[in-house]
Structure 1
Amino acid sequence: MTTMTDQKETRKAEDALYDYSLPAGEGWMYELKPGQVFRMVDTEGNQAADTLFYDAEHPEDHYSAIQTIAAQENVYLTTGSKLLSESGKELLEITGDTVGRHDTLGGACSAQSNTVRYAHDRLPMHNCRDTFMHQLAKHGESFTKRDIAPNINFFMNVPVTPEGGLSFEDGISGPGHYVEMVARRRVKILISNCPQLNNPCSGFNPTAIRLLIWDQ
């Protein structure tokens, strides 16, 4: 596993063309140009950032967990992982990672999954699927419910059990850990900074993530 001491930061925050702190539970959508570098920082540790990517020129061609997992022969993402679309195009490549493993199986929490996993009184709780839908509605008529695909959960720890199931565990990220990637084409990024209070993915205390972008 890659650790904080294995990599040295080569970019400085003061040189970033974009620097934003996304509050816990909030959504964000942004377009990257080819070659731009995008970094997500887990500011306080043990947070989860539910994330989707879209080809900006063909928004229906979104990130594909199946294509990505099959191509890299690994269910977890880290440095060197190429994030592929449904058509097999490379959207981004992870070029820096101080956590070492990110989940691409657990999916986004929803009102329905909260009631199934936890209790019926969790139905009205804030959730990532609703945040995704709200952001897509804000950013053009071309996006619909069909554009919400199985997403990446950056910083989230979801081990696969020996029986083939999933286990939501305490995060393995810490304060200041980050994941960095470079866009290989025009890409729209969609993030729900997870508000989950029912499992350890956000340490039962969701916190902000920092988003930075450099031209190179």
Structure 2
Amino acid sequence: MVKHSELSLAAAAERDTLDAGDYFIKVVKKGERMRITDLEGNQAADTLFFNADNTAERYSAMDTLREQGNAYLTAGSVLRSNLNQPLLTIVADTCGRHDTLGGACSTESNTVRYALEKRCMHACRDSWLLAVAERPEFGLTKRDISHNVNFFMNVPVTGEGGLTFADGISAPGKYVEFEANMDVIVLVSNCPQLNNPCNAYNPTPIEIAVWAAA
């Protein structure tokens, strides 16, 4: 469902441009809003969410999809934790839908999906591992890397219940915006994937903006 935000970028408390392959990590406080913008189109922003006060509680794709009865995420979707508590709510979305079934790329999946020589290529899981190593103050380790949301990624579900990776449905300037229902650690990997045609083999930057609570 397409829904535009009423917020102005000029009023954002923070704005960052994130190059492909880089990570972003921040505590978004309860009531604050965060927007991820696909600057050039068909880029994927692989994102993890954790309760900032108890990182054992984190985003759960299973609980989220079960409670909303829909395989995709869009405006109105409540992102729920493994304790079935609301972490964040998507309040605006100009893309239309986002994936939470396809998982994140890794060196292992690069090998399986593409070729043995692709193993050494950078992947979203590597970005997350670098983040938890470089930012120990957030209290995360590699064991905390679990379910994620693939903002802007198009992963259709087939009639037989399988998944396929298809051309993106996003475009330059499309964005998704969510509001925190509790203090949440947000960890984003701007996907560096060079082997998937969904981004024309050209990973591009995204923008992240944060607004103070109303």
User: Normalization by structure 1: what TM-score?
Assistant: 0.95
Q: Please tell me whether residue 205 in structure 1 is matched to residue 177 in structure 2.
A: no
Partner of 1:159: 156
For residues 84 and 129 of structure 1, the distance between their equivalents in structure 2, rounded to whole angstroms, comes to 22
SS at match of 2:34: strand
Q: Please tell me whether residue 189 in structure 1 is matched to residue 170 in structure 2.
A: no
1:8: Cα distance to partner? 4.0
Q: Please tell me whether residue 144 in structure 1 is matched to residue 144 in structure 2.
A: no
- Pairwise CA RMSD: 1.1
For residues 189 and 5 of structure 2, the distance between their equivalents in structure 1, rounded to whole angstroms, comes to 25
5 Å-filtered alignment, 1:108-147, equals 108-140=104-136, 142-147=139-144
The equivalent position to 2:26 in structure 1, one of 30, 53, 59, is: 30
In the TM superposition, what whole-angstrom CA distance separates every residue of 1:123-149 from its partner, at most 9, and x where no partner exists? 110000111111112222732222001
Gapped regions of structure 1 (runs ≥ 5): none
Count of aligned pairs between the two proteins: 212
For residues 65 and 201 of structure 1, the distance between their equivalents in structure 2, rounded to whole angstroms, comes to 22
1:179: Cα distance to partner? 0.3
Partner of 2:61: 65
The equivalent position to 1:18 in structure 2, one of 5, 14, 19, is: 14
Q: Is the 8 A contact 2:38 2:206 kept in 1?
A: yes
Q: Is the 8 A contact 2:4 2:94 kept in 1?
A: no
For residues 195 and 112 of structure 1, the distance between their equivalents in structure 2, rounded to whole angstroms, comes to 15
**What percent identity do the matched residue pairs reach?**
52
Partner of 1:51: 47
SS at match of 1:136: helix
Partner AA of 1:23 in structure 2: D
Q: Please tell me whether residue 75 in structure 1 is matched to residue 74 in structure 2.
A: no
Partner AA of 2:190 in structure 1: N
Q: Please tell me whether residue 87 in structure 1 is matched to residue 95 in structure 2.
A: no
* Structure 1 outlier segments of 4+, above 2 Å: 200-203
Partner AA of 2:108 in structure 1: Q
Partner AA of 1:80 in structure 2: G
Partner AA of 1:24 in structure 2: A
